[in-house]
Chain A
Amino acid sequence: MLDSDVKLIYERPHGFTDVTTHYCPGCTHGVAHRLIAEVLEEMGELDNTIGVAPVGCSVFAYNYFDFDFVEAAHGRAPAMATGIKRTLPNKMVFTYQGDGDLASMGMGEIIAAAARGEQITVFFINNTNYGMTGGQMAPTTLPGQKTSSSPLGRDVETQGYPIRTAELMSSLDGASFVVRRSLHDARNIRNAKKAIRTAFEVQKHGMGFSFIELLSTCPTNWGLTPVKARDWLREYMIPQYPIGDFKVSSAVEELVKGG
C-alpha cells in the first residue's frame, strides 16, 4: 500500500511492451528507447506512431516499443519510412538506425530522404562500431580505434576518416532540425530528451526532416565496463563528435521559442 503522500515519479513508459531487452549491460540503446517512448507518450502520439527498425543491434526494437512497427532492410529505413509517411501523412513516422546501418549501408537513402525534406524523424545511434556483428569498424570509428576489423587501430591512410554525420546532414536544405546529443550522463540525457521532443514536434507541425544523432556506449565491443565506457565516450567521442545544434531552421526556432 502506498501512503497518500507518496508520489509516483518514475515508471515504465506506456510505449514499452513488458519485455526485457536483449541489450548488453551498460549499453545506451535502452536509454534512447526510453526517451523516445516517454516523449511520444507525453505528446499523446503512442497510438499514432509507426516506427521503422534497422538491421543492427536494434533490429528487435519493435519487440520493445508497443506500437505499430516495421523492420527495414539494412540501411533502407529512410526509404521505407518515406513510403509509409507519403501514404499516411498524418502518422508520426520515425526510423531508429545505427552507424553501420545509416552512415555506411544506407548513406544514399538517408541523404536523399533529408534532401527531399521528408516529414520523418530519424534517430541515429553512434557508438563507433558495428555492434551486432561483433564490433567491426564503422564509418564512425575513431582514428586509431581498435575494432575487430581494424585490429591495429583505424589507419586513416588506408581505412579513411570517420564521418561526422550530423554535420553532413545539416548541409541539406531539406533538413530542418539536425542536432547531436549524448547519452553518457544524466544532464546530457535530459538534453537529449528535449531534442527528441523538438524533433517530433517538427514532424507534427509538418516542418520537415528532423535528425538526432545520439552518442552511445558499447561496453561489450569496446571491452570496457559500463562506467569506463561512459568515460571513454566523454573523453574520445565528444572531441570528434561535438554536441550541438547543426541545423535549426527559422521555423523550428520559432517553434522552440513558442514552447
Chain B
Amino acid sequence: MALELIKGNVAVAETALRVGLVSYFGYPITPQTELLEHLSARMPEIGRAFVQAESELGAINMVYGAACTGMRTMTSSSSPGVSLMQEGISYIAGTELPAVIVNVVRGGPGLGNIAPSQADYTQMVHGGGHGEYHLIVLAPASVQEAVDLTALAFDLAEKYRMVACLLMDGYLGQMMEPVELPPFAPIRTQAPSWAVGAKHPEGERAVLTSINISPPMQEIFNVKMMSRWEQIEKDEVRYKGYYLDDAEYVVVGYGTAGRIALTSVRAARAKGIKVGLLRPITVSPFPVEVLDKLVSGKKGVLVVEMNNGQMLDDVSAVVAKRVLIHFYGRMGGMVPYPDEIDAAIDEMIHGDHDVNRDARGIWLAKMRELVGTGA
C-alpha cells in the first residue's frame, strides 16, 4: 500500500475509524484538535457516531456509556482535558470496560502551554483518578508507530476489558510523516454478552456498575483486577532496543524523547562509544524484567524525558543502585536538542561514578544554572 503524508493526530483518527471505531466523543483542545476535527467529518460520512461534547467530563462519560455497549469507542484530549477525564477513567476502570483514550500531552501544570511535553507520564502510568487501577499506556515515537499502536490499543482494551491509552505529545500530534494506514476492518456487529443492549443468556440481564458497597466484595474485585494486571505485565510488555547487544551504557527514553535520544546514541556510536537505547513502547506495563536484565553489568544508565524525571523513578526502582544513573530532562513544553543529550551521555561516561548520586537533584541544579528559577 502507498505511503501517505499525514499529521499524527489525523493518522490516529483515521486509523481508529478503520479498525472499527463505532463512536467518538471529544472536546477541542490544542494540540489534539485535528483528531476531533477529522472524525467530525469522517464518522458521520460512514454512518458512525460523533459527538462534540460539552466538556471533557461529558466526553469521557459518553465514552463510559458507549463502552457499556461493548462497541469500539474512544476519546482524545490533551493534558488539562485529560485531568478533567480522570473521574470517568476511574469509573470505566472500575466497571471493567474497554475504551481507548489518546492524550496528546502539552506543557504544564495548570493551563501551561501547547508545546510538546511528557509531563503526564505519572498521571497516565500511575493512575490519575481515585482508587486503584492500571491503564495500558502505549508511547509511540513516530506517526507510523502511533498508527500501529492505535490499532493495538483497541485490541488490548477489548482483550482485557480495560482502558488503553496512547501517550503522545504535541510533536507527534502535529508532525506530518509518511505512513501506511491499515485497511478498513469490518465493525463488530455482535456485542459481547456482558454488554447492555446485547443478547444475554436466558433469564439474565446486564448491570454494569463500578460500585461494590461491601468492602470484602470490593477487595475481591481489586484482587481480580490486580491478577489481571499481573498477567498483562507478563504478556504485554513491548519495547524497542537499539545497539544494546554490546552496550556498556544504556539510555532509556520513550516517545519523542526516546527518538531524539536515538540520534544522540547513533552519534556516540559513530565516535566508538558503546551505548545503546531502550525505548519502552508500553510505559505501562513498564518493561521491568527487560530493564532488570539489561542493566546488570552495565557501566551507566541515562534516563531522558521531557519532564522532571517521572519515568526516572520507575527506572531507579529497577536499577536499585546497582548501576550509576544519570538523568536529563526538559520541562514545561521544552524539547531537548540532540546535542544536549550528547552532553548528558558524555557526562555519564566521564563524570562522577557514585551509584548513590542524586540524579534528579544534580540535574535540577544544572537546570537552575541553565534556565534560572525566575526568582
User: Which residues of A approach B to under 8 Å, CB–CB?
Assistant: 50, 52-53, 59, 62, 66-73, 76, 79-88, 91, 108-109, 111-112, 116
Contact = CB atoms under 8 A, between A and B. Distances in A.
Given A70-B208, A82-B51, A116-B51, A109 B61 contact: yes
A73 B87 CA distance: 8
A109 B84 CA distance: 14
A66 B67 CA distance: 21
A84 B196 contact: yes
A71 B53 contact: no
B269 interface: no
Contacts of A50: 196-197
A88 B62 contact: no
B249 interface: no
A112 B209 contact: no
Given A52-B65, A79-B57, A80-B64, 12 more contacts: A62-B207, A73-B61, A76-B58, A79-B58, A83-B67, A83-B69, A84-B66, A87-B49, A87-B65, A108-B57, A109-B57, A112-B53
26 contacts: A62-B207, A62-B209, A68-B200, A70-B65, A70-B68, A70-B95, A71-B210, A71-B211, A73-B88, A76-B64, A80-B62, A80-B64, A80-B68, A82-B58, A83-B63, A83-B66, A84-B65, A84-B197, A85-B65, A87-B22, A87-B23, A87-B73, A108-B58, A109-B61, A112-B55, A112-B58
Interface residues of B, number: 36
B197 A79 contact: no
A86 B61 contact: no
Given A73-B61, A73-B87, A84-B68, A108 B206 contact: no
A132 to B, nearest CB: 12
A59 B211 contact: yes
A87 B198 CA distance: 12
A81 B65 contact: yes
A86 B196 contact: no
Interface string B42-55: 00000001010111
B52 to A, nearest CB: 9
B67 A69 contact: no
B69 A88 contact: yes
The DSSP consensus for interface residues of chain B is mixed
Contacts of B66: 83-84, 86-87
Contacts of B251: none
Interface in B183-237: 196-197, 200, 205-211
B211 A109 contact: no
Nearest to A53: B209
Contacts of A59: 211
Q: Which of A59, A62, A83 has the most CB of B within 10 A?
A: A83
A108 B55 CA distance: 9
Contacts of A72: 61, 64-65
B151 interface: no
Contacts of A82: 25, 51, 58, 62, 65
Contacts of B54: 108-109, 111-112
B91 interface: yes
A67 B205 contact: yes
B6 interface: no
B325 interface: no
A46 to B, nearest CB: 10
A81 B69 CA distance: 11
A128 to B, nearest CB: 25
B17 to A, nearest CB: 15
Nearest to A89: B49
A116 B54 CA distance: 10
A88 B71 CA distance: 9
Contacts of A116: 51
A80 B53 CA distance: 11
A112 B200 CA distance: 32
Contacts of A87: 22-23, 49, 65-66, 69, 71, 73
